[in-house]
């Protein structure tokens, strides 16, 4: 008889624990589904970020190439201007005879030398002339 009094009590406790277990299993299923959605969203975000990163890297590479070509073009232009500047100076009349007797020495050549010293480059020289 002693056992019979405890059995209904134990059965009700077991039913209560099983109900709690089923509820927690349902909650675990919901959490698992939620976690799966989060993982899927993270994977999509990672994929989009990778694509965006690739596009950005391609754009940066294009910009660097353009800068490299631009620098090379500027260097070529500087060389061409230096050559033209040298040709220009070679074509100018050169002083002959005594320094004081030559009008080019006082009026033309000396200011050019001064301007070149101020200019520091053929490109800047044209600003002063």
**9-27 pLDDT, tens digit each:** 888 889 999 999 999 999 9
Q: Tell whether the model's pLDDT for residue 84 goes beyond 60.
A: yes
User: CA end-to-end span of the chain, whole Å?
Assistant: 124
Question: What's the total number of domains in the chain?
Answer: 2
For residue range 67-83, list pLDDT tens digits in order: 888 888 888 888 888 88
Q: Would residue 82 count as lying in a domain?
A: no
Q: Are residues 12 and 67 in the same domain?
A: yes
Q: Would residue 83 count as lying in a domain?
A: no
Domain range for residue 116? 92-129
Q: Are residues 51 and 99 in the same domain?
A: no
Count how many Cα atoms sit within 13 Å of the Cα of residue 17 in the half-sphere of its side chain: 6
Q: Would residue 86 count as lying in a domain?
A: no
Q: Would residue 11 count as lying in a domain?
A: yes
pLDDT class of 1 with cuts at 50, 70, 90: very low
Question: Structure tokens of 46?
Answer: 């990672």
For residue range 101-121, list pLDDT tens digits in order: 444 544 444 555 555 555 555
Q: Looking at residue 94, what DSSP letter applies?
A: P
Q: Are residues 66 and 28 in the same domain?
A: yes
Outline where the chain has alpha helix (H): 2-91, 103-104, 110-119, 122-128
Q: Would residue 45 count as lying in a domain?
A: yes
117-125 contacts, C-beta under 8 A, 24 or more apart: 121/78, 122/78, 122/81, 122/82, 122/84, 122/85, 123/78, 123/81, 125/85
Q: Which of 125, 99, 124 minimizes the C-alpha distance to 111?
A: 125
């Amino acid at each position: 008889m002693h056992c019979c009094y405890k059995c209904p009590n134990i059965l009700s406790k077991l039913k209560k624990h099983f109900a709690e277990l089923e509820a927690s299993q349902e909650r675990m299923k919901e959490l698992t589904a939620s976690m799966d959605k989060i993982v899927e969203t993270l994977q999509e975000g990672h994929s989009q970020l990778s694509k965006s990163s690739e596009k950005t890297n391609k754009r940066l590479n294009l910009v660097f190439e353009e800068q490299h070509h631009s620098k090379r073009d500027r260097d070529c232009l500087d060389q061409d201007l230096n050559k033209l500047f040298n040709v220009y100076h070679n074509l100018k009349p050169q002083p002959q005879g005594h320094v004081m007797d030559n009008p080019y020495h006082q009026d033309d050549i000396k200011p050019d030398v001064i301007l070149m010293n101020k200019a520091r480059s053929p490109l800047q020289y044209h600003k002063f002339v």
